[in-house]
């Protein structure tokens, strides 16, 4: 166990220390302690593609291990899908390794416009804009749209990129998925600001629960506000056809701004904003992350176009994922684990104890099970958890191995009886 309860929050700023002194203190008091206690399970080095079983180099033993991989957001296994790889290779061979310039000037190729059309159609929107980073897409969009005349009303558990994009505007947070809390803030600010923008995730990345989008859209209409929803963990997973949270609630085309990343179920990298033609044209000229970043590489673009097509053409991938979700959830609950309000492929095993979370993840690693420890400040101090995420190609045997390991460790650390 760590002898002192240091967290990453303790090194955000250190009085009297410049940046290099701060770096040295962080290395000595956090990184080395974590390493010595065999709790340093971040940045593990993978030697094979994202898949249910992944080859990983153990930093402590130097061993090359075949691990059951429950640390991915690649829910449909599209990162390693043969058709996705082929489409990327074809684009690489045709266009080369890079786009050559920023998209606004000389970097736009026909594949970029094809991808924008595909993602707009998937989300039921008029148009879309693509970015090389999901984080950059959210932050630069919000920075370009909101200022001190506006207000962002944000779910307290919304993704960091959404919060960071609101640095130049007024912010109020509402309690997680709590529409009474949201309405209280909307009512209080009804006539105070030029623009009121409600900002939410479709599926929350550390909890796996779904936003009550129908109720939030209703409130937005009552209080003359707009809604922006981040579909990072919803795209390809939610909805009858995998089109995300708006489809799940029969609200396709009725959400003002739909954003997300291409790096989860679509298996690639980058981000998007979908909305009205007017909004997208504005962002093309005012979103600094779009204007001043070189355009998405052809290979990634080609792969993403194919991935979107596969979501529609191969529904069995999503159906198998949901079969796994239902099986895993049922068994975790029967064992007595606290998984919060998880409804999707993300399972938080809540331990409420940072040290226990790290120890369990260390033991799982030694059992060749790849799981991620999530502790403060990523979550609140009493909500530490082991984060397990499922893929469609996990077999029942894979799931049972993890369930058996978690039953053993849950009893050992007195999380379950």
pLDDT in tens, 164-196: 999 999 999 999 999 999 999 999 999 899 999
Phi/psi for 41 (5° steps) reads: -105, 15
Q: Which residue has the tokens 């290979």?
A: 299
**pLDDT, position 102:** 95
**pLDDT, position 86:** 98
Across 145-246, the runs of DSSP E, i.e. the strands, are 150-155, 170-174, 195-201, 226-230
3-state secondary structure of 45: strand
Q: Is the dihedral of CA 94, 96, 97, 101 positive or negative?
A: negative
For the question of residue 205 being annotated catalytic, the response is yes
**Within a 10 A sphere around the Cβ of 365, how many other Cβ atoms?**
21
Q: Peptide bond before 377: cis, by omega within 30 degrees of 0?
A: yes
For the question of residue 264 being annotated catalytic, the response is yes
- In DSSP terms, 373 is beta-bridged to 386
What is the distance between the alpha carbons of residues 311 and 272, in angstroms, rounded to a whole number? 17
- In DSSP terms, 55 is beta-bridged to 66
**pLDDT, position 109:** 97
For the question of residue 281 being annotated catalytic, the response is no
Task: Report the DSSP pairing between strands 369-370 and 170-174.
Answer: unpaired
**pLDDT, position 5:** 67
**pLDDT, position 381:** 83
**pLDDT, position 53:** 97
Contact 383, 338 (CB under 8 A): no
Catalytic residue among 233, 329, 365, 394: 233
Dihedral of CA atoms 311, 317, 319, 320 in degrees, nearest 10, equals: -160
Catalytic residue among 123, 159, 264, 365: 264
What is the distance between the alpha carbons of residues 339 and 188, in angstroms, rounded to a whole number? 34
Global confidence as pTM: 0.95
Give me 257's structure tokens. 């701004």
Give me 100's structure tokens. 């050559």
Contact 145, 287 (CB under 8 A): no
Catalytic residue among 161, 205, 303, 389: 205
**pLDDT, position 6:** 79
What is the distance between the alpha carbons of residues 13 and 11, in angstroms, rounded to a whole number? 5
3-state secondary structure of 189: coil
Instruction: For the chain, list residues with pLDDT below 50.
Output: 1-3
Q: Residue 59 — left, alpha, or beta (φ > 0 → left; ψ -120 to 50 → alpha)?
A: alpha
């Amino acid at each position: 166990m760590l002898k002192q309860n240091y967290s990453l929050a303790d090194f955000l700023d250190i009085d009297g220390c410049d940046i290099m002194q701060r770096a040295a203190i962080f290395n000595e008091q956090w990184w080395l302690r974590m390493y010595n206690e065999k709790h340093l399970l971040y940045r593990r080095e993978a030697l094979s593609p994202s898949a249910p079983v992944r080859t990983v180099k153990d930093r402590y033993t130097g061993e090359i291990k075949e691990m059951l991989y429950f640390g991915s957001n690649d829910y449909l296994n599209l990162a390693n899908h043969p058709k996705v790889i082929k489409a990327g290779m074809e684009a690489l061979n045709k266009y080369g390794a890079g786009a050559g310039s920023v998209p606004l000037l000389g970097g736009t190729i026909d594949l970029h416009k094809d991808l924008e059309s595909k993602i707009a159609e998937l989300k039921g929107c008029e148009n879309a804009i693509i970015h090389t980073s999901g984080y950059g897409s959210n932050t630069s969009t919000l920075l370009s749209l909101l200022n001190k005349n506006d207000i962002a009303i944000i779910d307290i558990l919304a993704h960091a990129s959404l919060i960071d994009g609101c640095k130049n505007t007024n912010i109020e947070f509402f309690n997680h998925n709590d529409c009474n809390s949201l309405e209280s803030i909307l009512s209080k600010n009804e006539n105070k600001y030029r623009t009121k923008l409600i900002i939410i995730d479709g599926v929350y990345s550390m909890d796996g629960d779904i936003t009550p989008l129908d109720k939030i859209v209703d409130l937005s209409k009552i209080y003359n506000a707009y809604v922006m929803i981040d579909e990072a963990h919803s795209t390809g997973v939610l909805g009858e056809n995998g089109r995300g949270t708006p489809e799940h609630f029969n609200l396709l085309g009725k959400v003002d701004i739909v954003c997300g990343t291409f790096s989860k179920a679509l298996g690639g990298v980058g981000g998007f904003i979908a909305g009205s033609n007017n909004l997208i044209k504005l962002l093309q000229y005012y979103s600094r992350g779009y204007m001043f970043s070189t355009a998405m590489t052809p290979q990634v673009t080609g792969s993403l176009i194919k991935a979107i097509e596969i979501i529609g053409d191969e529904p069995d991938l999503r159906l198998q994922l949901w079969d796994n979700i239902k099986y895993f959830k049922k068994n975790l609950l029967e064992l007595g684990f606290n998984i919060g309000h998880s409804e999707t492929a993300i399972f938080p095993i809540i331990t409420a104890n940072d040290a226990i979370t790290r120890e369990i993840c260390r033991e799982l690693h030694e059992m060749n099970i790849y799981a991620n420890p999530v502790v403060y400040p990523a979550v609140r101090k009493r909500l530490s958890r082991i984060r397990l995420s499922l893929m469609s190609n996990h077999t029942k045997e894979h799931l049972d191995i993890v369930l058996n390991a978690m039953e053993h460790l849950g009893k050992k650390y007195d999380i379950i009886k």
